[in-house]
Structure 1
Amino acid sequence: MFSQFAEAVAVYRDRSTRNSRLDRAVLEEIGEMMAPVARGRVRQATITVDDVLLSVSSTTSAERFDLALSPETNLSGTVSGFVDVINVHREPLFYLYPSEGPRITCRFDRTYLDEARLALRQYCRVHGLLTFTDSSPYPLRVDVERIEVPPESSAQRTLRSFVGSVPDLTGGMEAVEYLQRLRDAED
């Protein structure tokens, strides 16, 4: 991770991502770290990693750094996973952790806040506009249109909850006798 950060600093310093092996999220994080300088809130930011020095001041940051990231494609779709970390400060979002692939940032309208809270720490299905990059088969983010949270009854079922759910299963036989007959039955 440290070497990836050092490479990201060099990429930002050289204003080029053409030969970069960096993940889009790492490059965006470096850009966000430098945003206060670009907005004029901070006069200068300096990062030193190993022998790489990145110094950006409010006068030199007038040139916009174009990350030259791979183009994005948007498709309507659905993705499933565990919902974790709801953040409602600037832009409401939560992270979805699918069974396969990296976490997905899910941006949502504040009207979905109650649904997002219900989905927290649950495996659920998120519908919306999925954003992909050419470099990954997994969505980068989702603009949420709907959240499907599993019903309480099926999400919370335990083995004990099945006791008595099929009262006439044995046909009046004792459980031991019924199981012995099942075991001795021919296929």
Structure 2
Amino acid sequence: MADKTPHVQLRVVVPGPVGSSDARRSFTVLERLMTLLGQIEAAEIGSSESTWGIEKLELGSVRLTLTPNRLAENASADLMADLVKWTIEGFSETEERETLPRRWTSAAVETGVQLSKCLGMLESDGMTLELLADGRPQQQVVVTRRSADNLRKALNRKRTSIGSVIGKLESITLHGTFKAGLWTGTGAHRVEVLFTRDQQAAVQSALGKRVEVSGLLVRDARDRAISVKMRQIEPLRDQDAPLTDIVGADPELTGGLEAAEHLRRMYDAS
């Protein structure tokens, strides 16, 4: 039976009048595009060993048609089509608003920033990506410098809530600001614990132990805890529950106050 899987191609256009295309910029953009595809692939199957072959190349504006060539052991033609689709969909989102594409890892986001900052703000100075199936256009996006700006803004966005974080308290600083370093069990991620002089003894006694710190929690755009302004600290046994949000789990954390009022009072006291 004949294979009916569509022939997947990625058409890339980096613009420039005949004879004036910036070779260094074009190669940099293409190299970062290949890196981005590999990073998204690695997030899906654990490796980025698939390669892409050049089917067509035109100069002036660099017009390049790529197709999957040697696939990684766990890869498939469908996955390669998905990689292109997720790349195009991701840039379609970042061209419109401040967001982090769902399928993009942190490394892929950084590559997306580095790629798109090489491009102009106008679509005429952007990069066109187009998914082809059996030579027929399926999806397209024009990537500009706007994507770099929107990705950066999304990365810098932070969210504050009442919550808790669990990990091992392994460092403490008492010079200037009172703060400690808490390493979570998920990916060895460090969270900064901010505390007051009155809380110093409790923090020092917990040094080297697995603890749960609750208070005013700041998370990054990926919803990872960055810091916590401590309200209380509690030593834990190894079998105790993993990272959890306190709101709804511990009614006493807010002292009976509504969350918004509790947050306001914590800010006022800082």
Shorter-chain-normalised TM-score: which range? 0.3 to 0.5
The structure number with the bigger radius of gyration is 1
When normalised by structure 1's length, the TM-score is 0.43
